[in-house]
Structure 1
Amino acid sequence: MNDRLQLPPPQLLLTIAALRDKALAAESLNALAFGIANDLYPLLRFRQALVFAQHGAQHYELLCVSGLAKPQEDSPYLVWLRRAMRWLGPKVTGREPAWVARADLDPPAEVADGWAEWWPAGAWCVPLHGRNGERLGLALFLQDAPPPEPLLQPLQGLWSTWAYCWGTLSGQGKLRGWRPSKRQVLLGLAVLAALLLVPVRQTALAPAEIVSREAQVISSPIDGVIARMQVRPNQPVEAGTPLFTLDETTLRNRADVLRKEVAVADAELIAASQRAFDNPQSKGELTVLTGKAQQRRSELSGVLAQLQRTQVVSPRAGVAVYSDPNDWIGKPVSTGERILQVADPSKPAMRVELPVADAIALEPGARVTLYLAAYPLTPLEGKILETSYQARTTDEGVVAYRLLVSIEEGEGPERRLGLHGTAKLYGGRVVLGYYLLRRPISTARAWLGW
């Protein structure tokens, strides 16, 4: 009864607890291996301790030798250790520590000679396993006899702590990720290189709008102020339909003044003509007064001609295209300022604004697909008719090329003027590597200057 309740000495438990705390505080696998190889000496009194990390079934990496900060890789002892571990490692099976004695084994000559020279009678082997059961490492404590039985049970917790810390620090404690072999890496690189040589069609995306291929710009014929817009946006018009009217107040007032000036000039001319019969000096004034009267009549004719141009009519049949009448009523305009367009809705086309940063090599006749925002599931097909030579700044502040694209006949959504969407432009075929790296290469060349 007393033997069953006998507990380990308190000093032993405190020592093991301190070793477990030190293992938990290790910041790297090398620091943990150094503690395993050196900290247990007061309890086991071993001659030497070796700590190996296991990679695969036959490969053991020496991490630490007790008493040495860094072992020399080319020493005869370490060369023999590599051969000995390839033979001894598979002999240690199971998850529990085991005593391996030379007398119980029949090592080959190359291992037996080194064992007789460097190792004592046996080794206390402590395998360290991760949570998934895979062996992470092996600790060897070289001794003349196995550890005493009263010491083994308290040390079980220390073995588990070492295994847990080893798995945590090496990243192999719970799940071990797949690590490709060198052959698999080379094969993957070869497949990637082959994929980069696959030919693909070069494409670009750009905003687009449906416009008319035959649209005439209507501008202001004279300087003035728009009095009223006589058509609504997208209203069908015929040739001769009034579009907008300019305010006539200033011109009519000017015409009234000029009429009175013409009358005054005519009266002065008649009076001078009558005086010329009696006074020869008045004959010289006739030429000046005649020119002045003709000047006033010319000015009056010009104002009357401008009055006739305040009413702007449509030169052709089509649809009036502009934004909002309230944007124009009461707005001063100058001669030649664009007011609206009269477009033929029976001849729609796409106007594409291709940003310079996304520009690709395009030729007339290249295929274009338009995805309208209002009808995203029914795209329109077309071909490039013309491209602008120079890029210009759009209303959004983006420098872009303007492209005019035809719209093929056939079933599809309504081709109403003014609809917006995204156009996908198809260029020539290039390899996939160039398609993916075109933008980075262009940016790098602009930044590096070569």
Structure 2
Amino acid sequence: MTVNRPLPDPQLLLRLDALRDKAMAAETLGALAFSMANDLYPLLPFHQALVFEQSKLGFELLCVSGLAKPSEDSPYLVWLRRASRWLAECLTEPRATWLTLDNTAPPEDVLEGWAEWWPTGLWCIPLYAPGGNRLGVLVLLLEQPPAPLLFQQLDGLVRTWSYCWAALTRHRHRGRWRPSRRQVLLVLLVGAGLLLVPVRQTALAPAQIVSRQAQIVSSPIDGVIAQVLVRPNQPVAAGTPLFSLDETTLRSRAEVLGKEVAVADAELQAASQRAFDNPQSKSELTLLHGRAQQRRAELAAVQAQLRRTQVLAPAAGVAVFSDPNDWLGKPVSTGERIMQVADPAQPAMLIQLAVADAIALEPGAEVTLFLTAYPLNPLKGQVLETSYQAKPGDDGVVAYRLLASIEQHSEHARLGLHGTAKLYGGRVMLGYYLLRRPLATLRAWSGW
């Protein structure tokens, strides 16, 4: 005898096919869970749908129908975390299960929340991977159990959900590698061994090229600079005029002193003539003679200053100073530095090593200078001298002053070029090299 089964509704088949297409189009597990919790409502009206993911600790909530992102601090979701642990204990069969208060015995805290938030029953649909591992569960909150025929019609959709869930989970965990305990210990041993490897201690510091033979040219007297007769970095020979001071005040002073000398000589001559017949005038000769000598000494001093108003180059070299316009008309005092005359044939490195980066260096330590203008042509040298005391530089950083030689004369070693110097100290362990500054900071902070 043949039993005629009713054919499924064509609209139902179309809706199931659309749900399968949405599941296959999901690119993330979150998108698949959102479709499971919300798109099934037209076929099976429910109060609420919950999607849980199986984890080592139990169920983890992925999605709640009607919510884009559940708020984890809400009272309902706080209670739902406790209820999910009870659900994980109840769902042991690999088939859909209908749970009510009549066929289960939930604990007291779950029972109170069920009475407040859940309807009569829960239809729990587990999802399993092809290997038999449970992936998650879909929980539908219903007033009455669904018809058995409906579950048969949803069986294909549930298998599609399981397939997509397994594929997305496998894609999410693809490439994740967890080392074993032996591998972790091996890596730690290799790392500890690397920390004991001896390496060269180095430090970086700003530097510039200067001359080892540079003579400071300062103002010989107090005055005002009238002219700067050379340009910056201009080659000069010994005796070349560099700059001159204003002579107006000195010439006026010399003219006044010249007249005072003439007056003193006239007074001395008149007193000498009167001394033959006037004993009182004879006693004044010593005083007038001393006054005349004083005026001549003052005149000679002013004339000597006039001869020093034009400053000459003490030796052959290059005039090193800033813009001449910065000096024109500027008052200067005796000994104030104006410029340098440097010998470009004897270049050297002037290094400003910050106190925070200082390492143990001795004369003869190797230095490599990477010029900003020529980074591919480093200059080699050795430390010649180091300052005992650190002083603030123009940038306010307290640093030691180091002077290093340049081994081979290069056309790139031009005076005034700046760059970064790498200084090489002694050999230390790699662990000390990496932790030197953190250890120094820790000791300074802790006082230990």
Q: What TM-score, normalized by structure 1, do the two folds share? A: 0.70
Match of 1:76 in 2: none
| Closer/same/farther in 2, CA of residues 35 and 3 from structure 1, 3 Å limit | farther
**Residue identity opposite 2:195 in structure 1:** L
Give the distance between the partners of 1:290 and 1:391, measured in 2 at CA.
Answer: 57
Give the distance between the partners of 1:313 and 1:149, measured in 2 at CA.
Answer: 114
Match 1:3 to one of 2, 6, 10: 6
What is the correspondence of 1:58-69 to structure 2 with a 5 Å cutoff?
67-68=106-107
What is the correspondence of 1:7-26 to structure 2 with a 5 Å cutoff?
13-15=44-46, 18-19=49-50, 24-25=63-64
Match of 1:204 in 2: 203
**Residue identity opposite 1:307 in structure 2:** L
Give the distance between the partners of 1:160 and 1:15, measured in 2 at CA.
Answer: 21
Match of 2:36 in 1: none
- CA drift at 1:68: 4.8
| Closer/same/farther in 2, CA of residues 336 and 2 from structure 1, 3 Å limit | same
- CA drift at 1:243: 1.6
Match of 2:85 in 1: 34
**Residue identity opposite 1:287 in structure 2:** T
* CA displacement 1:410-439 (0-9 Å, x = unmatched): 6x5432211111111111111111111112
Is the 1:226–1:246 Cα contact (8 Å) retained in structure 2? yes
- CA drift at 1:313: 1.2
* CA displacement 1:224-278 (0-9 Å, x = unmatched): 1111122222222222222211111111110001011111122222233333344
Is the 2:381–2:407 Cα contact (8 Å) retained in structure 1? yes
Q: Structure 1: give runs of 5+ residues left out of the alignment.
A: 49-64, 71-123, 140-146
**Residue identity opposite 2:396 in structure 1:** G
- CA drift at 1:387: 0.8
| Closer/same/farther in 2, CA of residues 39 and 244 from structure 1, 3 Å limit | same
Match of 2:408 in 1: 409
**Residue identity opposite 1:364 in structure 2:** P
Is the 1:252–1:307 Cα contact (8 Å) retained in structure 2? yes
What is the correspondence of 1:75-94 to structure 2 with a 5 Å cutoff?
none
| Closer/same/farther in 2, CA of residues 11 and 436 from structure 1, 3 Å limit | closer
| Closer/same/farther in 2, CA of residues 32 and 128 from structure 1, 3 Å limit | farther
Are residue 251 (structure 1) and residue 290 (structure 2) matched? no
Match of 2:15 in 1: none
Secondary structure of the corresponding residue to residue 363 of structure 1: coil
Give the distance between the partners of 1:44 and 1:181, measured in 2 at CA.
Answer: 39
Secondary structure of the corresponding residue to residue 14 of structure 1: coil
**Matched residue pairs, number?**
370
Give the distance between the partners of 1:383 and 1:31, measured in 2 at CA.
Answer: 72
| Closer/same/farther in 2, CA of residues 46 and 321 from structure 1, 3 Å limit | closer
Work out the percentage of aligned pairs sharing the same amino acid.
61
Match of 1:96 in 2: none
Match of 2:367 in 1: 368
Secondary structure of the corresponding residue to residue 446 of structure 1: helix
**Residue identity opposite 1:356 in structure 2:** V
Give the distance between the partners of 2:210 and 2:42, measured in 1 at CA.
Answer: 93
Give the distance between the partners of 2:108 and 2:427, measured in 1 at CA.
Answer: 62
Secondary structure of the corresponding residue to residue 382 of structure 1: strand
What is the correspondence of 1:135-214 to structure 2 with a 5 Å cutoff?
135=133, 137=135, 151=151, 153-154=153-154, 174-175=172-173, 177-214=176-213
Match of 2:428 in 1: 430
**Residue identity opposite 2:45 in structure 1:** L
Give the distance between the partners of 1:5 and 1:374, measured in 2 at CA.
Answer: 82
Q: What TM-score, normalized by structure 2, do the two folds share? A: 0.71
What is the correspondence of 1:287-306 to structure 2 with a 5 Å cutoff?
287-306=286-305
Give the distance between the partners of 1:225 and 1:436, measured in 2 at CA.
Answer: 55
- CA drift at 1:154: 4.4
- CA drift at 1:23: 6.2
Give the distance between the partners of 2:193 and 2:324, measured in 1 at CA.
Answer: 60
Secondary structure of the corresponding residue to residue 415 of structure 1: coil
* CA displacement 1:271-310 (0-9 Å, x = unmatched): 3333334433333433332222221111111101111111
Match of 2:140 in 1: none
| Closer/same/farther in 2, CA of residues 16 and 188 from structure 1, 3 Å limit | farther
Give the distance between the partners of 2:231 and 2:317, measured in 1 at CA.
Answer: 13
Match of 1:80 in 2: none
Match of 1:313 in 2: 312
Is the 2:129–2:162 Cα contact (8 Å) retained in structure 1? no
Is the 1:23–1:165 Cα contact (8 Å) retained in structure 2? no
- CA drift at 1:191: 1.7
